[in-house]
């Protein structure tokens, strides 16, 4: 049941009405029931057992941790939970990745497939709930979060329906308690939440679905396209992915806001980033934070890395030695980020290792870059320089998107090779642009919508746009909201005869 489907809107409306009609103390129980109902209505109902069992395992783990101060027992409980949850995730999502890799190597060596792959039905949002639950268990182990004594509360935290599809990844110690607190009806909060949902629909149905047509035209027939066609399709994909993912977040966060639950932001205008590191602080923020907190820093604190760091510092000096250890830890981090997106090398490269390479190169070349800037007597904070940095970062990220969207790593490499031949730049001006899935009018709508998005994104940096609109008189603000509402209703891609793309991150 996609967030943009009619039935989901009916479901949500019913949940919201009942949520504020029942006694506030029971609201969390109702949210749990609604979350279970959502899961059951969203496909194969039996798959609800996965998140339920995951919550049970985590609950058992934190119960043990809560009852004993014995480090060994606590560690055993932690290891047990991690092994079971990661094991389940690995088995369902990544076992075929390993098998395909082995078969691929065997193929190169002249053997056929030596292992047969598995076919599993993957439960909805497995990566998201697994990470949210794991983070909480690790926090309890580290004694920075209180163990939850009520299993059903634990289950609500693990299965809360607005975030189950595509996040954000929530952290119990920051966001958990508000799930169980009473939330009396607050008009402004509910209205603001709905307004944010509408903004999410605008991004998803109007922009993302339009971009999807251009992207599919080229990526589904990439052998027929070269040069600027590939760049246009890839840039469209960047906007498709951003508006799809962040639009889904707006709907999830807006929905939660109507329930009185504030979730962490997952995006902060990522295409305004000047460096790749900054980009990842703005794109899928909760995944980045999770990875740093539960993978990167713990990795650096391990005995093996301490030893490695010591040896590197002895041989390469303090600065270089530290860099080497960090880069190795970052490699593992980015590999994990890549594979989190899916069991395929295209994800490992496109969302992981390529970005690791960018960051490492950035670190290594930073002194050179600084020297060039000084020699050219250029101010590093100059508007033009910053503009260039933004464009450069955007283009580098787009190379990653080629891997992310292409059918396979090989297809991505072929497309990138084809993209070099930009002799067909004339296609931007001779009307060929409008043969890529969107005619002139549709393209104009897409550009106009992106302009609206850009304007709101700039305004949003200074102040919440909803607050700004709320200060206007009632006629102006109603005109604005009606205009957006009907813009989405008229120009959105939905309804019979149109097969909408699902939320892209729903598959992760």
Partner 1 sequence: MNKKQAVKAILFAVIFLFLLQSLTYMLRTNGDIKEIFIGFYAEPKDTIDVVMIGSSPVYPFYAAPKLWGEYGFTMYPLASNVQRPKAAVYLVEEALKTQSPELFVFELRMYTYEEGAMADNMAYARGVTDNLKYSWNRIRLINSLVPEISERYTYYFDIFKYHSNWKTLILPDQYTAFWYERLHPLKGYVMHDEVIPGDGADYSAVSEQMAIPKEQEENLRALLVYLQEKDLNALFIVSPMVLDEDMQKKFNYMENIIASYGYDYLNLNNYYDELGIDFAMDYYDGGSHVNASGSEKCTAFLGNYLTEHYELTDKRSDEKYSTWNEAYIYWQECQEAALEMINNKVTSGEYDTMVEGE
Three-state secondary structure string covering 4-58: CCHHHHHHHHHHHHHHHHCCHHHHHHHHHHHHHHHHHHCCCHHHHHHHHHHHHHH
Structural contact between residues 484 and 205, judged by C-beta atoms closer than 8 angstroms: no
423 or 496, CB closer to partner 1? 496
Span 186-245, contacts to partner 1 by CB under 8 A: 187, 191
Span 87-126, contacts to partner 1 by CB under 8 A: none
- 339 CB-side CA count, 13 A: 16
Longest pairwise C-alpha distance within the chain: 73
Per-residue mark of binding to partner 1, 489-508 (x: CB under 8 A): xxxx-xxxxx----------
Instruction: Give the total residue count for the chain.
Output: 508
451 or 478, CB closer to partner 1? 478
Per-residue mark of binding to partner 1, 13-32 (x: CB under 8 A): --------------------
**Among the residue ranges 37-45, 164-172, 375-383, 483-491, the one whose residues contact partner 1 (CB under 8 A):** 483-491
**Among the residue ranges 64-72, 169-177, 222-230, 478-486, the one whose residues contact partner 1 (CB under 8 A):** 478-486
Write down the least CB distance from residue 449 to partner 1, Å.
Answer: 14
- Smallest CA-to-CA distance from 93 within 276, 339, 272 is with 339
Question: Is omega for the bond preceding 168 within 30 degrees of 0, making it cis?
Answer: yes
Residues 149, 13: Cα–Cα separation, whole Å = 31
Q: Is residue 254 a contact point for partner 1 (CB under 8 A)? A: no
**Among the residue ranges 253-261, 392-400, 403-411, 488-496, the one whose residues contact partner 1 (CB under 8 A):** 488-496
Residues 428, 296: Cα–Cα separation, whole Å = 44
Span 439-468, contacts to partner 1 by CB under 8 A: 441
Write down the least CB distance from residue 89 to partner 1, Å.
Answer: 33
Structural contact between residues 2 and 8, judged by C-beta atoms closer than 8 angstroms: yes
120 or 482, CB closer to partner 1? 482
Residue 384 tokens, joined = 């033009």
**Among the residue ranges 120-128, 236-244, 392-400, 485-493, the one whose residues contact partner 1 (CB under 8 A):** 485-493
7 or 369, CB closer to partner 1? 7
Q: What angle do CA 47, 48, 52 make, to 5 degrees?
A: 130
SS3 at position 444: helix
Residues 369, 210: Cα–Cα separation, whole Å = 39
Write down the least CB distance from residue 494 to partner 1, Å.
Answer: 7
SS3 at position 385: helix
Write down the least CB distance from residue 439 to partner 1, Å.
Answer: 10
**Among the residue ranges 246-254, 362-370, 393-401, 476-484, the one whose residues contact partner 1 (CB under 8 A):** 476-484
Measured CA to CA in angstroms, residue 393 lies from 98, 359, 387, 400 at distances of 32, 11, 10, 11
Write down the least CB distance from residue 182 to partner 1, Å.
Answer: 16
38 or 229, CB closer to partner 1? 38
- 485 CB-side CA count, 13 A: 8
Binders of partner 1: how many residues, by CB under 8 A? 21
Write down the least CB distance from residue 481 to partner 1, Å.
Answer: 8
Write down the least CB distance from residue 490 to partner 1, Å.
Answer: 5
384 or 498, CB closer to partner 1? 498
**Among the residue ranges 54-62, 121-129, 172-180, 481-489, the one whose residues contact partner 1 (CB under 8 A):** 481-489
Residues 319, 303: Cα–Cα separation, whole Å = 20
Span 415-444, contacts to partner 1 by CB under 8 A: 441
Residue 86 tokens, joined = 């990661």
**Among the residue ranges 86-94, 261-269, 450-458, 479-487, the one whose residues contact partner 1 (CB under 8 A):** 479-487
Residues 327, 311: Cα–Cα separation, whole Å = 15
Which residues lie near partner 1 (CB under 8 A)? Answer: 6-7, 185, 187, 191, 441, 474, 478, 481-482, 485-486, 489-492, 494-498
């Amino acid at each position: 049941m996609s967030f943009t489907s009619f039935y989901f809107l009916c479901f949500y409306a019913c949940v919201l009405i009942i949520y504020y009609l029942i006694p506030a103390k029971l609201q969390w129980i109702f949210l749990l029931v609604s979350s279970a109902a959502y899961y059951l209505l969203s496909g194969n109902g039996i798959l609800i057992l996965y998140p339920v069992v995951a919550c049970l395992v985590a609950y058992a783990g934190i119960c043990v941790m809560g009852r004993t101060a014995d480090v060994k027992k606590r560690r055993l409980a932690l290891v047990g939970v991690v092994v079971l949850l990661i094991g389940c995730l690995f088995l369902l999502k990544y076992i075929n990745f390993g098998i395909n890799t082995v078969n691929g190597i065997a193929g190169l060596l002249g053997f056929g497939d030596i292992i047969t792959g598995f076919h599993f039905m993957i439960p909805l949002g497995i990566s998201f709930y697994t990470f949210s639950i794991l983070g909480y268990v690790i926090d309890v182990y580290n004694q920075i979060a209180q163990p939850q004594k009520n299993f059903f509360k634990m289950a609500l935290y693990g299965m809360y329906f607005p975030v189950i599809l595509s996040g954000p990844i929530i952290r119990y110690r920051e966001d958990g308690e508000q799930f169980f607190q009473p939330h009396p009806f607050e008009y402004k909060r509910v209205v603001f939440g709905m307004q944010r949902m509408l903004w999410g629909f605008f991004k998803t149905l109007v922009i993302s679905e339009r971009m999807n047509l251009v992207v599919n035209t080229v990526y589904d027939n990439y052998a027929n396209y070269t040069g600027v066609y590939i760049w246009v399709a890839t840039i469209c994909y960047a906007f498709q992915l951003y508006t799809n993912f962040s639009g889904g977040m707006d709907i999830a966060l807006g929905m939660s806001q109507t329930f009185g639950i504030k979730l962490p932001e997952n995006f902060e205008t990522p295409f305004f980033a000047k460096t790749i590191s900054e980009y990842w602080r703005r794109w899928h923020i909760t995944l980045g934070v999770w990875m740093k907190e539960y993978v990167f820093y713990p990795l650096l604190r391990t005995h093996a890395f301490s030893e490695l760091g010591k040896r590197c510092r002895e041989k390469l000096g303090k600065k270089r030695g530290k860099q080497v250890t960090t880069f190795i830890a970052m490699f593992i981090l980015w590999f994990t980020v890549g594979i989190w997106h899916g069991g395929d090398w295209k994800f490992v490269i496109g969302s992981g290792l390529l970005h690791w390479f960018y960051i490492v190169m950035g670190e290594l070349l930073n002194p050179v870059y600084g020297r060039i800037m000084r020699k050219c007597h250029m101010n590093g904070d100059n508007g033009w320089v910053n503009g260039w940095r933004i464009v450069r970062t955007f283009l580098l990220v787009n190379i990653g998107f080629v891997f992310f969207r292409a059918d396979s790593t090989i297809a991505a490499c072929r497309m990138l090779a084809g993209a070099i031949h930009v002799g067909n730049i004339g296609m931007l001006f001779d009307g060929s642009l409008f043969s890529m899935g969107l005619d002139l009018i549709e393209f104009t709508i897409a550009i106009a919508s992106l302009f609206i998005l850009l304007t709101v994104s700039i305004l949003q940096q200074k102040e919440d746009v909803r607050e700004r609109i709320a200060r206007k008189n009632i006629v102006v603000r109603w005109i604005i909201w009606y205009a957006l509402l009907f813009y989405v209703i008229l120009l959105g891609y939905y309804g019979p005869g149109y097969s909408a793309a699902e939320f892209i991150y729903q598959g992760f």
